[in-house]
Amino acid sequence: MRKTTFAVAAGAALALVLTGCGAKSESGTASAGGAKPELGLAAPFGNVLELASAAKQGTEKSKSAKMSMEMAAGGKTESMQGAMSFNGADSAFTMTMTGAEGPTEMRYVDKTLYMKVPASEASQFGTAKAWLKISPDATDPLSQAFSKAMSQASEQGDPSRVLDQVAKAGRIISSDQTQLAGEQVNHYVVELDVDKAVDQFTGQLPADVKAKMTEMLKGKNIKIPAELWLNKDQLPVQITMDQGPMMQAMGAGAAGSGKTTVKYSDWGTPVDVTAPPADQVGDFGEIVKKLGH
C-alpha cells in the first residue's frame, strides 16, 4: 500500500508546491532590459503584478495543456506525465507515474480521483478491480484527505493561478531572454518570502497542524527560489520551485527535497478525461475500511 499511497500523495504535492504561496502584494522589480525583436519576444515584465496579469490572460484563453513533472522527495526524483484542463473547481487531469513496479495512472474528473495501480500493488488491497476510486463523499479519513488534496490540486494547478500567487508573495530578482526546448522565452528568477505567506502555506491544514507549522516557520526569514519561462504568448513553458528551505526548517525534508519542475506544451489542445468503466472500479474507502486503516 505504501507505493500506491505515495502515488496519490505525489499528485497532492503538486498543489502544495505550486500553490503554497500568497500574501499581501509586493511589486518587486528587476531590470528587464529591452525587447529583442530577433527572438520574437516583447521585453520581460519588470514587476510581478504585470507578469501575473499577462500570464492569466494567456492561460485563460488556452484552457488546457500537456504537462510533465519532476518532484524530488525522500532522496529520489519521481516523474509524471499527463495533461490538464483548467476550469476552476471543474478542472480535470490525467497523469501517469512510472515506478519500479510499473506505471500508476491517475484520472481526476467530476471531483473524483481514479487510480490504476500495478497488479502487484492492487493485490495488496484484496480486489481484482483494475481501478480504485477516491470519492469526495467518502467517510474514511484517508479518502477525505486525498480527495481534498486532489480537489485543491485540480483547481489550483492552473499556472495562471500559480503566477497570481507568486505575484502576491514574491519579487522578480532578474530576467532575461533565452531559448528553452526550441522556443524563444522570457526567463524570470523569482524569490518568495515565506514570512509574508505563512497563511497560504498552512491554509488548507487542520487547525492544530496549522498552528504548529506557523510557529515553526515564524521569523526564520525563509526564501523560496522559483524560475519561470514564458513564451511569446505569455504562456508558461516551464516553472521550477524549491520548497526545500521551508521543508528543512520544519524537519520534514532532507537536503535536495522539495524541488519541483513542471513543463507545459501543446497549449490549447483539447484534454478529454473520462471515468473508467464502472465494472472496473473498486471503492478505495470501502477497501480501506476492510483493511482496518
Q: What is the pLDDT of residues 35-64, one digit of tens each?
A: 555 557 889 998 888 888 888 888 888 889
pLDDT greater at residue 96 or residue 150: 96
Write down the pLDDT at residue 251.
Answer: 66
Write down the pLDDT at residue 12.
Answer: 39
What are the strands, taking DSSP E only, across the chain?
64-73, 76-85, 92-99, 102-109, 112-116, 131-134, 170-180, 183-193, 223-230, 236-242, 259-265, 281-283
Write down the pLDDT at residue 162.
Answer: 67
Distance of CA 89 to the CA centre of its chain: 15
Of 34, 14, 49, 288, the closest CA to residue 167 belongs to: 49
SS (H, E, C) 136-155: CCCCCHHHHHHHHHHHHHHH
Asked if residue 23 has pLDDT above 50, the reply is no
Task: Quickly state the pLDDT bin for 259 (edges 50, 70, 90).
Answer: confident
SS (H, E, C) 231-287: CCCCCEEEEEEECHHHHHHCCCCCCCCCEEEEEEECCCCCCCCCCCCHHHEEEHHHH
Q: Which of 23-27, 217-221, 231-235 has the largest mean confidence?
A: 231-235
Average pLDDT over residues 146-159: 65
Half-sphere exposure at residue 220, Cβ-oriented, CA atoms within 13 angstroms: 18
Quick one: cell of 106?
491517475
- Which range, of 173-177, 179-183, 250-254, 286-290, averages the lowest pLDDT? 250-254
How far CA 169 is from CA of 34, 35, 117, 199, 293, in Å, comes to: 26, 26, 37, 11, 38
Task: Quickly state the pLDDT bin for 274 (edges 50, 70, 90).
Answer: very high
Q: Which of 128-132, 217-221, 265-269 has the largest mean confidence?
A: 265-269
CA distance 80 to 36: 34
Of 225, 236, 220, the closest CA to residue 259 belongs to: 225
Give the chain's mean pLDDT.
Answer: 75
pLDDT greater at residue 24 or residue 115: 115
* Parallel, antiparallel or unpaired: strands 281-283 and 131-134: parallel
Asked if residue 10 has pLDDT above 70, the reply is no
The CA radius of gyration of the chain, in Å to the nearest whole number, is 20
Quick one: cell of 40?
520574437
Task: Quickly state the pLDDT bin for 177 (edges 50, 70, 90).
Answer: very high
Asked if residue 266 has pLDDT above 90, the reply is yes
Asked if residue 22 has pLDDT above 80, the reply is no
Q: Does domain 2-291 correspond to CATH entry 2.50.20.20?
A: yes
Asked if residue 189 has pLDDT above 90, the reply is yes
Residue with cell 511569446: 232
